[in-house]
Amino acid sequence: MSVALFEPYTLRSLTVPNRVWMAPMCQYSAEITGPNAGVATDWHFAHYGSRATGGTGLILLEATAVAPEGRISPADLGLWNDTQKEALRRIAGFLKSHGTVPGIQLAHAGRKASTNRPWEGRGPYTGEACWTPVAPSPVEFDEGYPVPTELSVERIREITGQFADAARRALDAGFEVVEVHGAHGYLIGEFLSPHSNHRTDEYGGSFENRTRLALEVVDAVRAVWPEDLPVFFRISATDWLGDAGWTGDDTVRFAALLREHGVDLLDVSTGGNGGPAQIPAAPGFQVPFASRVRNETGLPVAAVGLITESDQAERILADGEADAVLIGREMLRDASFARRAARELGAETHAPSQYAWAI
């Protein structure tokens, strides 16, 4: 009997050895200031390397800023220069050498930029390295956050180019999947939602205008990314704000457009854009959004969110609700989640020879 969770999965010419993938999760552990700002450290090498030796099929590195002002915190990874690229090359190479597909998420934090690392207290960063965030509209994320600077059309187009430049560097560093971060209330998601986008020009108002930046970024990334390698897009399928925000219906409509623009898989999350959101968090609570996109548009999807058990993950795939699962916090708790799941389900996954007797 086959185990869906450990069947290979092919997108374009790339085959991922299994469907247990690691979700992008910020580590807030990059160099903070000076010429090495945004550069990956030994923490990142050990963190991602251990998940690769744990049998994970694909690892998406955390939100990696395409510009200095696009970092969520001063300690975020960046990919706006070649020093950052070379530090990431070592990580991508190690993942690949142990049978794991290396992927990276490219991001711009928008109005949620320049914040503290979570363990230092949530809210705006007030140190010497702080900066004023930018956004589609001059609307603060939440009480106590700064009013961001509204982006001009010229600056919007510069940011689109920064995503393309970062994608080129990611490719040169050895990554085989690139994901555009359009979720969780960061810049691209801010443009998508009427809750945060109050513009009246070609980037605001109608659905077509609010999705313009996202599609322009996808086009710019797809233009520099090889035709035979996949591009992912992460979305918050709903703001949990009803019609005042982005909705599940919007996501289905948008997913069809993303497919036309060359996106190969939608990474389906929810929330993060502020406001009076009531999020019914429970095991697998976001899976129905992924399932709906897959069934109504045919675009492959990855499900994420409180997926913690091997049989739960297997059921999602076996029932046709998703094409892969992205494991988040459970993989922080257990670097070898994939090997444990294979053992529990009677399947096999890759592991280094040094660990062979522990499979």
186 is catalytic: yes
Q: 53, 351 in Cβ contact below 8 A?
A: yes
Backbone angles phi, psi at 241, to 5 degrees: -120, 15
Q: Which of 12, 16, 76, 66 is nearest to 221 (CA)?
A: 66
With vertex at residue 327, the alpha carbon angle to CA 10 and CA 30, rounded to the nearest 5 degrees, is 100
Alpha carbon distance 357, 62 (integer Å): 31
Q: Which of 86, 18, 89 is nearest to 51 (CA)?
A: 18
Q: Which helix (H) or strand (E) holds 150?
A: strand 149-150
Helices marked H in 174-275 — which ranges? 187-192, 207-210, 212-224, 248-260
Backbone angles phi, psi at 160, to 5 degrees: -55, -45
The token pair that represents 90 in the structure block: 């070592």
DSSP string covering 2-65, please? --GGGS-EEETTEEES-SEEEPP-----S--SGGGTT---HHHHHHHHHHHHTT-SEEEEEEEE
Query: Which residue in 28, 125, 186, 203 is the catalytic one?
Result: 186
SS3 227: coil
CB atoms < 10 A from the CB of 42, how many? 9
For the annotated catalytic residues, the residue numbers are 186
